[in-house]
């Protein structure tokens, strides 16, 4: 890992991706200058945070020089990008967070990575993921306090953006792997509606849950990144002509959140109320609340099948926690899986009717501040329902808790409402800063 780079202007590393893209598109900023600023931060913080699995500074600088000398490539022209080590990459090994694949070198990029490169992004390297995007963590630490977890499974991507190593990074979410790390690291994370971004070339865990998402410093950033992968330029058209109607959904699991998280959530609601936002209190039905347990069952059952080869031929190299998860999955019958699908379809229809009264839901992103220690990545409780339903969701930072660590709130929209959900989330983000 060659981190020897010349000194650069450190303020450039703090630019939002949207601001940097504007300057790059106008040729008022060079890709080399932006990259050097990011590399300087990496050189200073990577030994402590360990956000990267593989990294190539020299290769990235060569890409930046080519971009500066050639025509504009696309919306991501010259933007440094971190890629979760669950995505295949033609120029970096892809280990999927497992010793089984320590030396695995794909010959192709995952579709999402190829689309980002086509749009001009500079892939710096691969960021740390938990084991097969499950719960056993890698070495990555929280950029706000390295004694705490950055969350998972997209640990390295969230930490890299949170530490100003890169303005953008790719993640995936099966349970809470974008939303919770974004909340823990004080950045914005976006999980689009299920299926809108291609998953070709990404190590599968759960066929009906795995979703590609991204991290940035603001809603504009994640809209820019994900719009490229979804081939949905309309996602970047964020301004809306009215205030959102917000459903406040504390969920049945409110008592599992910390007093600090509850206080930050209530302060956010009050702030929106003072902005004249129409607020609707939303109580989820028992059938929707039950989806937390259904999500766990679906994930385990599908992981049992997706990781069949690893389970059968490399069991000794799987963590005990993953082995136990796969054993649970093997005990779920086909008939049970069909009943779970019916439950999800019914709940999705029920929730769809509810969205007639509000545009987006506001709900917790996580149980509180990032947990201490690096042995766990936190509880996915507050994202399981929305991941199972396939709804688009974002985590927005809303201050800090008593330990000085970030807190977030989650904005959720109905399935396939990504353009509107991004627009309303952008409105909320801007007005929370007023």
User: Both tokens of residue 79?
Assistant: 């933007």
- Please tell me the predicted confidence (pLDDT) of residue 4: 53
Catalytic annotation present for 208:
no
Give the domain extent around 299.
291-338
| 178-193 mean pLDDT | 98
pLDDT for 433 equals: 86
Task: Report the Cα 292 to chain-centroid distance in Å.
Answer: 19
Question: Per residue in 253-294, pLDDT tens?
Answer: 999 999 999 999 999 999 999 999 999 999 999 999 999 999
pLDDT level of residue 60 (50, 70, 90 thresholds):
very high
Q: Answer yes or no: 257 catalytic.
A: no
Contact in structure between 352 and 344 (CB atoms under 8 Å): no
Does the structure show a pLDDT above 70 at 64? yes
Q: Do 128 and 182 fall within a single domain?
A: yes
pLDDT at 1 over 60: no
The number of folded domains in the chain is 3
**40 domain-assigned:** yes
Query: Band of the pLDDT at 3, cuts 50, 70, 90?
Result: low
Q: How many CB atoms lie within 10 A of CB 373?
A: 10
d(CA 135, CA 109): 25
Cα 91 to Cα 106, 113, 126, distances in angstroms: 8, 11, 10
Which band of pLDDT confidence, cut at 50, 70 and 90, is reported for residue 145? very high
End-to-end CA distance of the chain: 42
Judge contact between 122 and 77, C-beta under 8 A: no
Of 236, 239, 185, 232, residue with least CA distance to 212: 232
Domain shared by 366 and 399, yes or no: yes
Residue 434 above 90 pLDDT? no
The DSSP element (H or E) to which 50 belongs, if any, is none
Are 130 and 153 within 8 A, CB to CB? yes
Instruction: Specify whether 295 is located in the same domain as 350.
Output: no
6: pLDDT strictly greater than 60: no
Say if residue 152 is in the same domain as residue 257.
no
Task: Select which of 13, 84, 126, 395 is catalytic.
Answer: 84
2: in domain: no
Residues 341-372 as b or e (16 or more Cβ within 10 Å = b)? eebbeebbeebeebbeebbbbbbbbbbbbbbe
Q: Which two tokens stand for residue 392?
A: 């688009």
pLDDT at 401 (0 to 100): 98
| Contact (CB, 8 A) for 193 and 418 | yes
Q: Quick check: 7 pLDDT over 90?
A: no
Mean of pLDDT values over 9-19: 88
Q: What angle do CA 318, 324, 325 make, to 5 degrees?
A: 95
**Are residues 60 and 153 located together in one domain of the fold?**
yes
Tell me whether residue 105 is in a domain: yes
- What is the C-alpha to C-alpha distance for residues 280 and 283, in angstroms, rounded to an integer? 10
Does residue 76 lie within any of the structural domains?
yes
Residues 214 and 250 in one domain: no
Q: Verify that 405 and 369 share a domain, yes or no.
A: yes
Give the CA count within 13 Å in the CB-facing half-sphere of 239: 1
What is d(CA 350, CA 358) in angstroms, rounded to the nearest whole number? 14
The one catalytic residue among 13, 94, 98, 153: 153
Instruction: Determine the average pLDDT of the residues in 102-130.
Output: 98
Domain closes at, from 203, 236, 269: 236
171: CB partners within 8 A, 6+ apart:
84, 154, 157, 158, 177, 178, 181, 189, 212, 213, 214, 215
pLDDT value at residue 336: 98
User: 345: which residues sit within 8 A by CB, 6+ positions away?
Assistant: none
Q: Is 84 a catalytic residue?
A: yes
Alpha carbons 88 and 85: distance in angstroms, whole number? 7
Residue 270 domain flag: yes
pLDDT tier, 251 (very low <50, low <70, confident <90, very high otherwise): very high
Q: Supply the DSSP symbol for 356.
A: T
Q: What is residue 244's predicted lDDT score, i.e. its pLDDT? A: 97
Does residue 222 sit in the same domain as residue 259?
no
Domain match, 54 and 175 both: yes
In a domain, 399, yes or no: yes
Same domain, 70 and 163: yes
Structure-token pair, residue 87? 């995505």
> Does position 421 have pLDDT exceeding 70, yes or no?
yes
Residues 256, 118 share a domain: no
Distance from chain centroid for Cα 65? 29
The span from the CA of 65 to the CA of 411, in Å, is 39
Of the residues 13, 98, 154, 177, which is catalytic?
177
Q: Are both 250 and 139 inside the same structural domain?
A: no
Instruction: Flag whether 259 is in a domain.
Output: yes
Least confident of 6-20, 118-132, 335-349: 6-20
Radius of gyration of the chain (CA): 20
Residue 80 sits in a domain of what CATH number? 3.90.1300.10
Please tell me the pTM assigned to this model. Answer: 0.96
Task: Tell me the mean pLDDT in the region 364-388.
Answer: 98
CA dihedral 10, 15, 20, 26 (to 10 degrees): -70
Confidence tier at 8 by pLDDT (50, 70, 90): very low
- Helix, strand and coil percent figures for the chain, each rounded to 5: 45, 15, 40
Residue 327 within any structural domain of the chain: yes
């Amino acid at each position: 890992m060659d981190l020897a780079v010349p000194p650069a202007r450190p303020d450039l590393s703090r630019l939002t991706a949207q601001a940097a893209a504007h300057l790059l598109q106008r040729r008022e900023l060079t890709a080399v200058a932006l990259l050097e600023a990011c590399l300087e931060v990496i050189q200073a913080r990577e030994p402590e945070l360990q956000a990267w699995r593989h990294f190539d500074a020299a290769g990235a600088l060569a890409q930046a020089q080519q971009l500066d000398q050639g025509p504009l490539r696309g919306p991501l022209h010259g933007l440094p990008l971190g890629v979760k080590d669950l995505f295949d990459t033609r120029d970096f090994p892809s280990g999927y967070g497992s010793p089984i694949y320590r030396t695995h070198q794909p010959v192709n990029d995952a579709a999402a990575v190829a689309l980002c490169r086509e749009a001009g992004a500079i892939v710096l390297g691969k960021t740390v993921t938990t084991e097969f995007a499950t719960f056993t963590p890698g070495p990555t630490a929280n950029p706000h306090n390295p004694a705490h977890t950055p969350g998972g499974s997209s640990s390295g991507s969230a930490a890299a953006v949170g530490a100003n190593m890169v303005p953008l990074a790719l993640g995936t979410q099966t349970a809470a792997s974008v939303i919770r790390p974004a909340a823990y690291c004080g950045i914005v994370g976006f999980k689009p509606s299920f299926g809108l971004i291609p998953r070709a070339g990404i190590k599968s865990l759960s066929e009906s849950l795995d979703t590609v998402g991204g991290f940035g410093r603001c809603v504009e950033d994640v809209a820019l990144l994900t719009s490229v992968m979804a081939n949905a330029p309309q996602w970047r058209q964020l301004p809306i002509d009215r205030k959102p109607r917000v459903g406040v959904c504390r969920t049945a699991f409110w008592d599992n959140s910390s007093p600090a998280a509850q206080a930050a959530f209530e302060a956010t609601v009050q702030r929106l109320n003072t902005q004249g936002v129409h607020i609707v209190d939303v109580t989820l039905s028992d059938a929707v609340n039950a989806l937390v347990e259904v999500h766990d069952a679906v994930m385990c059952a599908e992981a049992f099948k997706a990781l069949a080869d690893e389970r059968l031929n490399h069991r000794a190299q799987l963590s005990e926690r993953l082995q136990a998860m796969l054993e649970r999955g093997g005990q779920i019958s086909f008939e049970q899986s069909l009943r779970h699908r019916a439950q999800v379809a019914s709940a999705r229809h029920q929730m769809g009717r509810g969205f007639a009264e509000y545009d987006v839901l506001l709900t917790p992103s996580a149980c509180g501040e990032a947990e201490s220690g690096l042995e766990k990545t936190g509880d996915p409780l507050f994202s399981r329902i929305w991941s199972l339903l396939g709804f688009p969701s974002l985590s927005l930072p809303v201050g800090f808790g008593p330990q000085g660590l970030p807190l977030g709130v989650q904005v959720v929209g109905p399935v396939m409402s990504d353009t509107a959900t991004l627009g309303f989330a952008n409105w909320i983000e801007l007005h929370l800063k007023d």
